[in-house]
Amino acid sequence: MRTLAQAVRACAPNAAGRTMTAGFDGFVDTLVRPVCRVGTDGQADAYFETIADFGAYLCAHAGKSCSVELAVESVRAGGNLPQIADAAGGLGLDTVCIGTLGADAPDPLFADVPARLYAFAPPGQSTALEFRDGKVFLAPRFTLPGDPWALAQRAADGQADALFARADVCALVNWSELPFAQALWQAVFDHAFADAPADKGRYAFFDLCDCARRAPEEIAAVLRLIGRFAGKRTAVLSMNENEAHTVSDAVLDGERALPAIGKALRARFGIDEVLIHTLRETVLCAARGMVREAARFVEQPVRSTGAGDHFNGAFCFASVVGLTGRERVQFANRYVHSYLTHGYGPTLPALLAELEAE
């Protein structure tokens, strides 16, 4: 059996000329750490370590009031689209992003995203509260000044449909936070795939994101749409543990076991692959069976914001170059471990060096 390093080295040349087209969000993320105690006498500030710690503090002030100081760590390009593109493009896919990346042109904050950028609306503004065990995003609701698909088409010089249709990976992300996402995803199917022949050697990749505030009928509708994409491409639905349970509560009568959720979603909605990633393991349910792989838990990540999107971008890359199901999971796990450890995604040569040194 070949090692992961051997598999990646053998398949890496397949990335040449392969493309990913992704849509449709874009945010300016202000990453902060909520301050628990201000340092004195030369001591550093103390931060709320976990979401539970912060939640307990807020609950203790119910019926009263409180203030929380935020230590700003950075202001950076955010949203699922720039993050998944950072991983996939950084690993070697020719990547195109169509999203809310700027009013008339891409905001300079997105200049380092390794992709061609088409901007059709100003980016959203979000504040990401960072904790050792996760993050909490705070963001106002998005609105658009016109028909979403018409804006996307205009931004891409009338080529949005062709860019999605020709891509080896069509990646549609952040359905939950964009009120207009369902209309855009439907438009991509109608204009780029509905009349096209099936090509299961290429992929349609989906990440709903945290859909807890969406109605069950909305969640069911988007899952049915993903099932329609599966008639044209190999459709992959990616979720974290929280999202998987939210979806299960909405359409599967609350099943908790992750493998059972993946199998049920495949059967009910015709989705080719369901990928569920947690802090400690990854589950992939596909036609060839189920893969379960332990993830390398990072106790104190340098950066957790964007980790799931970088996992997804690495998985898209691994899919396109032809790794097996288990190898795709292992590759994405290993890539995101490096991201969590260093605070940025490794290049393919750097990741290969890490793998071969093990």
pLDDT (mean) for 279-289: 94
- Residues recorded for the chain: 358
**Residue 346 structure tokens:** 């490794």
The pLDDT-based confidence of 259 (bands split at 50, 70, 90) is very high
Residue 56 domain flag: no
Tell me the β-bridge partners of 131. Answer: 134
With a cut of 80, say whether residue 42 has pLDDT above it: no
Which run of H or of E encompasses 35? strand 27-37
Write down the pLDDT at residue 337. 94
- Average pLDDT, whole number, for the chain? 94
Q: Cα(357)–Cα(341) distance, rounded to whole angstroms?
A: 17
Residue 10 domain flag: yes
Write down the pLDDT at residue 148. 95
CB 262 within 8 A of CB 283: yes
Q: Render pLDDT for 126-173 as a digit per residue (tens, 0 to 9).
A: 898 999 888 898 988 878 878 999 999 999 999 999 999 999 999 999
With a cut of 80, say whether residue 35 has pLDDT above it: yes
Residue 314 domain flag: yes
Residue 171 domain flag: yes
Domain of residue 334, CATH code: 3.40.1190.20
Write down the pLDDT at residue 153. 97
Residue 274 domain flag: yes
Cβ-based burial of 303 (10 A; exposed 0-12, middle 13-18, buried ≥19): buried
The number of domains in the chain is: 1
Which run of H or of E encompasses 282? strand 281-286
Residue 68 domain flag: no
Residue 271 domain flag: yes
Which residue range(s) make up the domain with 226? 4-29+78-357
Q: Render pLDDT for 68-105 as a digit per residue (tens, 0 to 9).
A: 999 998 888 889 999 999 999 999 999 999 999 998 89
Residue 72 domain flag: no
